[in-house]
Chain A
Amino acid sequence: DIQMTQSPSSLSASVGDRVTITCRASQSISSYLNWYQQKPGKAPKLLIYAASSLQSGVPSRFSGSGSGTDFTLTISSLQPEDFATYYCQQSYSTPRTFGQGTRLEIK
Chain B
Amino acid sequence: QVQLVQSGAEVKKPGASVKVSCKASGYTFTGYYMHWVRQAPGQGLEWMGWINPNSGGTNYAQKFQGRVTMTRDTSISTAYMELSRLRSDDTAVYYCARGTEGAAAAHYMDVWGKGTTVTVSS
A residues neighboring B (CB under 8 Å): 32, 34, 36, 38, 42-46, 49-50, 53, 55, 87, 89, 91, 94-101
Q: List 23 A-B contacts (CB under 8 A).
A: A32-B106, A32-B107, A34-B109, A43-B114, A44-B37, A44-B45, A46-B108, A46-B109, A49-B110, A50-B106, A50-B108, A89-B45, A89-B47, A89-B108, A91-B107, A94-B50, A94-B59, A95-B47, A95-B49, A95-B61, A96-B47, A99-B44, A101-B45
Residues from chain A with Cβ under 8 Å of B109 in the complex: 34, 36, 44, 46, 89
Residues from chain A with Cβ under 8 Å of B37 in the complex: 44
Chain B residue with the shortest CB-CB distance to A43 = B112
Interface size on B, residues (CB 8 A): 22
Minimum CB–CB distance from A36 to chain B (whole Å) comes to 8
